Amino acid sequence: MSVIAVAELTVDAARDIAWSRFIDFAQWDLWMPPGFRPISGPARALHTGDKLTLGVGRKAWLKLNVEVIRVRPGKEICWTGGNPTLMRGEHSFLFSDAADGKTRVRSEETFRGLLTAGPLAARLERTATDSASEVLASFVDFVKRPR
């Protein structure tokens, strides 16, 4: 059984600019919403193999260790983390050109494991979709700010 959460927004910036600002882990604390906080990782753009620690929840009550498993420059960054038996997620952010020089950013997160079955599945999907939407909205606001 798996759960898939999807969210998508358009950023008012060219893809190369949106991409470079998104993968710069050193700036994540400037734009990530309160429910998703960077705790540790490289002070640079993310690369395949990088390991990150993220705080999840309003007070970062849950520490999540993830590993970047795929970087397709200008197109996709993907990381994975969690417990393979209970719940493991794979989270991709996909970048594509939109109209008028803007960029479409799509979040796709797939969860697998025991906690994705039964009555928890629908709630998990809603929660993960809401969280991804919040991350994307925060990123859109960050890109609007003057540098």
Q: What is the 3-state secondary structure (H, E, C) of the chain?
A: CEEEEEEEEEECCCHHHHHHHHCEHHHHHHHCCCCEEEEECCCCECCCCCEEEEEECCCCCEEEEEEEEEEECCCEEEEEEEECCCEEEEEEEEEEECHHHCEEEEEEEEEECHHHCCCHHHHHHHHHHHHHHHHHHHHHHHHHCCC
Average pLDDT, the chain: 93
Residue 129 or residue 62, greater confidence: 129
Domains defined for the chain, CATH in brackets? 2-144 (3.30.530.20)
9-29 confidence digits (pLDDT tens): 999 999 999 999 999 999 999
pLDDT at 67: 98
- Place 95 in a pLDDT band, splitting at 50, 70 and 90: very high
pTM: 0.94
